[in-house]
Amino acid sequence: MTALDDYTRRAAELDASNPLASARSHFDLPEAESYFLGNSLGPLTHAARAAVVETLDEEWRNGLVRTWHDGDWLALAGSTGDLVARVIGAPAGSVVACDSTSVALFKVLSAAAAINKSASRRVLLCDSRNFPTDRYVARSVADLHGLEFVELEVTDMPRRFADDVAVMTASMIDYRSADLHDVRALTAAAHEHCILTVWDLAHAAGAVNCDVFDNDVDFAVGCGYKYLNGGPGAPAYLYAAPRIIGSVSQPIPGWFGHAEPFAFEDTFRPAAGIARFSSGTTHVLSMKAMHAALGVVTKYPVEDLRSTCIRLGDFFVEGYETFLSSSGFGLGSRRDGSQRGGHIALLHADAERMSKELIARGLVVDFRPPNVIRIAFSPLFLRFADVARLIGELTLLN
């Protein structure tokens, strides 16, 4: 038996003892593929398909407009937000699903800037390694509110925290390297200077413990289509701390955020809670898919999601060290799984060609210029056998 055979045998043993092994049955996955891109687009759940079909064939076709009041459409943004809340460690009633991540980020950054800027607080501090859209939005908010826009790496931010900073924003997970930032410590350090914090959880929710309430986060946003498996273009979500929600307003007031949407008043009166961050009409079809997919995610403890994600990643790192590290590959992510998000950046000078060949062989990975093969370890459907298969194929491509 070769070392790779032994590695593959151990994968089967790990799959047999995986507490999330049964979760795979909830997903409609191509049999011949091993899918390592759940951090980009989560796969289809049987529940999401059934929910959309039900919405089309019954609620829309037969119920028509009556379903807004006779069904659950009016409450859908809030009830979907409550499912997200269970994943990110937020209280019920503090999360609403709506918009895209960019729009949600614009809303909460604007809200934070509006209530915390002053003559002496004139800085918006942004993660310089953040996803480009986040940086575009943050710069726009700074310009609109007359704030100085300052970019720094997250690890350098505490040295810049001071009483002239109004808002800081960063991602919990570095989308390139998968570095996991210490949200609790950074938020506490920011609060020492009365800085409001806005965290992007897009690459975190469903793969790590976010614990936004326990970490005293002020605002957070994220998308529904990565580890939450809500589908392409799934709604985003936003969180506002219960202690702050009553004192904030958002920049895109709309009738779904009104205290009485069907009163059709001339003046906007915000809803009492997180619903005030809604704007336009709920996108029912996409929200139904996301709601159903979240029903699958929330069947399992967040702690099991996190531990399985770490174990899958650590098993890959073990394979890398044994079979790849001396063959031109490098590791662009931390070896310590507790310091890493849900994906790993594998480095190689020929990464683009290798990514294409892996995809052609049924191992769906991601290429990021100039030299990164990005591999995600989604805990609900990925198997240790998939990881062993990937390591085996990588040994053949070099």
Tens of pLDDT, residue by residue, the chain (398 residues): 689 999 999 999 999 999 999 999 999 999 899 999 999 999 999 999 999 999 999 999 999 999 999 999 999 999 999 999 999 999 999 999 999 999 999 999 999 999 999 999 999 999 999 999 999 999 999 999 999 999 999 999 999 999 999 999 999 999 999 999 999 999 999 999 999 999 999 999 999 999 999 999 999 999 999 999 999 999 999 999 999 999 999 999 999 999 999 999 999 999 999 999 999 999 999 999 999 999 999 999 999 999 999 999 999 999 999 999 999 999 999 999 999 999 999 999 999 999 999 999 999 999 999 999 999 999 999 999 999 999 999 999 97
Among candidates 11, 189, 228, which has minimal Cα distance to 101? 228
Q: How far apart are CA 389 and CA 397, in angstroms?
A: 13
| Residue 123 resides in a domain | yes
**Same structural domain, 277 and 374:** no
| Residue 223 resides in a domain | yes
**Same structural domain, 210 and 325:** no
Question: Which tokens is 22 given?
Answer: 């049964």
**C-alpha pair distances (Å), 260 with each of 88, 265, 270, 272:** 29, 8, 9, 10
Q: How far apart are CA 204 and CA 174, in angstroms?
A: 9
**Same structural domain, 349 and 361:** yes
Beta pairing, strands 148-152 & 123-127: parallel
For the domain that residue 320 is a member of, what is the CATH number? 3.90.1150.10
By three-state DSSP, how is residue 51 classified?
Answer: helix
**Same structural domain, 368 and 247:** no
CB 137 within 8 A of CB 105: yes
**Sequence letter at residue 391:** I
Tally the domains of the chain: 2
Predicted TM-score (pTM) of this structure:
0.97
Question: Which tokens is 228 given?
Answer: 């939450």
| Residue 57 resides in a domain | no
Name every residue whose Cβ is closer than 8 Å to that of residue 325 and which is 6 or more positions away in sequence.
Answer: 331
**Same structural domain, 247 and 187:** yes
Boundary (domain end) residue, out of 297, 318, 335? 297
For residue 370, whether the previous peptide bond is cis, meaning omega lies within 30 degrees of 0, is yes
**Same structural domain, 207 and 180:** yes
Among candidates 87, 39, 78, 94, which has minimal Cα distance to 217? 94
| Residue 50 resides in a domain | no
**Same structural domain, 141 and 177:** yes
**Same structural domain, 176 and 277:** yes
Q: How far apart are CA 203 and CA 133, in angstroms?
A: 14
| Residue 35 resides in a domain | yes
**Same structural domain, 363 and 265:** no
Q: How far apart are CA 309 and CA 343, in angstroms?
A: 9
Q: How far apart are CA 345 and CA 128, in angstroms?
A: 19
Boundary (domain end) residue, out of 254, 280, 297? 297
| Residue 66 resides in a domain | no
In 214-295, the DSSP E strands lie at 219-223, 236-240
**Same structural domain, 166 and 76:** yes
Question: Which tokens is 115 given?
Answer: 């209530």
Boundary (domain end) residue, out of 272, 297, 322? 297
Name every residue whose Cβ is closer than 8 Å to that of residue 366 and which is 6 or more positions away in sequence.
Answer: 36, 37, 39, 40, 355, 373, 374, 375, 376
| Residue 341 resides in a domain | yes
For the domain that residue 137 is a member of, what is the CATH number? 3.40.640.10
Provide the domain limits for residue 32: 3-44+301-397
Give the count of beta carbons closer than 10 Å to the beta carbon of residue 168.
Answer: 30
Q: How far apart are CA 58 and CA 335, in angstroms?
A: 50
**Same structural domain, 87 and 226:** yes
**Sequence letter at residue 394:** L
| Residue 59 resides in a domain | no
**Same structural domain, 127 and 11:** no
Q: Which of the residues are catalytic? A: 131, 200, 225-226, 374
